[in-house]
Amino acid sequence: MERTLNLGILAHVDAGKTSLTERLLFNAGVIREIGSVDAGNTQTDSLALERQRGITIKAAVATFHIKDTTVNLIDTPGHPDFIAEVERVLTVLDGAVLVISAVEGVQAQTRILMRTLKRLNIPTLIFINKIDRAGADVSGTLKAIKERLTPDVATTQNQEELLNVLSYHDDQLTKNYLSGQPLDISQSLATLTKQARIHPVYTGSAITGEGITELEEAIATLLPAEAGDPGAPAQGTVFKVERGQNGEKIAYVRMFAGTIRVRDRLGDFGKVTRMSPDGLSAGQIGKLWGLSGIRIGDSIGMPKAQQRHHFAPPTLETVIQASDSNALHTAMTQLAEQDPLINLRQDGDQLSVSLYGEVQKEVIQATLACDFGVDVTFRETTTICQEHLVGTGEALELIYKDPNPFLATVGLRVEPSKKHHGIHVKLDVPVEHMPLFLFRTTDEFRLALEETVRETLAQGLYGWQVSDCLVTLTHSGYQSPGTTPGDYRKLVPLVLMAALRQAGTTVGEPVHHFRLDGPSDLLGPALRALAQLNAVPQTPVLTKTTYVVEGEISAGLIHQLQQRVPGLTRGEGVLESQFSRYRKVHGTPPVRARTDHNPLNRKEYLMHLSRRS
């Protein structure tokens, strides 16, 4: 029976993951010759900008076979500015290969990726690449993997080390070893790898092909292929959207259950007019045409789930400008379809986009010029703050009672919840008080309410996203017939913002945790530079030749630190950084211009609604 495996190739930029993809496709006979990243002729880097810059920007899917396993291989970006692409891929993976260069070793992005793979319990193989290159240090890289990524790794060539790692996690294997019974090391290795409890390490070179056969065998035998039930109702998730040559929307879908065929209608998304492959079934990845209403993160056959970010959201934003504002808006709307995390915001004629870093800004600029013929400039990059609740607040508006102009009663309570818990909505009213003649189930009513709550809390008292709070519906009322979903949708923002005003919020600015390695004789200049950037360093760790200093720095200043590192360290320094937390802003909180109808101001809000109607 043929299995389908959806496999992600992940790595820090330049570790060789696209070259590994080329080698796997070549060995499987999918391509006749191996492309080169430097030459710009690789199979998965299809965008002109990818070929020009020699980096992967968009996730790409290629299919090949290893024995009885069909592998949908997904090549993902390695540059941290395109982490959103990686995030979307993680939702559809059965397993992953994490590529690490034997020359550069464990790098900043490698650590972020491995932490996320472990947190999501994704079975992962590790491939130490570039062992043929000058400066390759396999033993040093393996040591760094154990120290900086995870101790739960072993090379399959070292049987004693492998047995020790397996025994630590497999009690039955340990009992058999102590009692002198036969040991099924292969079975234990496969089971623990599929459970994401250990991560086998392989070494080789994607360029020469050394070690690739062993890696292919591991991919086919150690990683799980989830079949699902092709006869069940269709269920899937959209992890990528792109536009075809004629501007048509193409959705990349991972199917978890059921089967989709041409001419099937998928809810409000539209009717499938074309697909590849024909008859997309459980476990498979494919492309669908004709779904004009679909977006990245949408679920097929399931209630629309709120997209969960496995990585920190963008912490930077900038205003984007062009002489032709209409053309810019059209182009950016299409880019937002492909990457919702750019969070396109419009305030009058002014467009803002969210960013992970300056390279992403350059790519957006080049993409708009190349694909849409729109030349743009950017204002200075600024940080995106968050608002957090101070206390609990409640508000109530009653049907038929001034100043409520809507045919609905809504009472809401807001209260803080755990960190990183997000926004949740709870119903605390009797079923008979819910307008179920408008909604089929209480869950459908709650989801509709939650959608409006999330949209409203995207802009809090100071205009920033409100996070980590529980919103409870305490009162509900309606008139039947008469009340419409719009009555609730329009009233909820007024009640919610009144409750938020009572609770109060503080503004937090994003800060990054950094680790700076450099020559020990240059520690002094490094500490002075950190002080100039208002960083908060911890006590440095010194050896005879090097220093390591860790600490926190504002997200808005990390780019300046990156630019200064080469000069501060004679070009020998290495800076790693990642989002850490939101730190309370002292003094006057920064205010973000509102782009909603300002439910904080009843008169202004109702005036906007009347104009719209």
Q: pLDDT for 423-465, tens place per residue?
A: 999 999 999 999 999 988 999 999 999 999 999 999 999 999 9
H or E element that contains 558: helix 558-568
Among 434, 432, 406, which Cα is nearest to 495's?
Answer: 406
387-503 classified as CATH 2.130.10.10: no
Q: State the Cα–Cα distance between residues 537 and 543, nearest whole angstrom.
A: 18
- pLDDT the model gives residue 294: 86
DSSP single-letter state for residue 433: G
Q: What whole-number distance in Å separates Cα of residue 292 and Cα of residue 392?
A: 41
* pLDDT at 115 (0 to 100): 82
Q: Fold for 235-300, please state it.
A: Elongation Factor Tu (Ef-tu); domain 3 (2.40.30)
3-222 CATH: 3.40.50.300
pLDDT tens digits, residue range 325-375?
899 998 998 888 777 778 888 877 789 998 887 778 888 888 899 888 999
What sections of 376-484 are H helices per DSSP? 442-457
Per the listing, tokens 């808006």 go with: 329
Cα–Cα distance, 93 to 87 (Å, whole number): 11
Residue spans of the chain under pLDDT 70: 1-2, 35-60, 76-85, 87, 226, 303-312, 612-613
Residues 373, 378, 380, CA angle at the centre, nearest 5°?
Answer: 170
Confidence (pTM): 0.69
Question: What pLDDT is recorded for position 378?
Answer: 92
Q: Where are the domains of the chain?
A: 3-222, 235-300, 317-384, 387-503, 507-584
State in words which class domain 317-384 has: alpha beta
Q: How far apart are the first and last CA of the chain?
A: 58
pLDDT value for 57: 39
CA 160: distance to chain centroid?
38
The H or E element that residue 11 is part of is: strand 3-11
The domain 507-584 is placed in CATH, from the list 3.40.50.300, 3.30.930.10, 3.30.70.240, 3.30.70.380, at: 3.30.70.240
The residue among 75, 65, 88 whose CA lies nearest residue 35 is 75
pLDDT of residue 344: 85
Contact predicate 88/56, CB 8 Å: no
| Dihedral in degrees, nearest 10, Cα atoms 333, 336, 342, 347 | 20
Reduced to 3 states (helix: H, G, I; strand: E, B; else coil), residue 298 is coil
Fold equal for 387-503 and 507-584? no
CA dihedral 353, 357, 359, 364 (to 10 degrees): -10
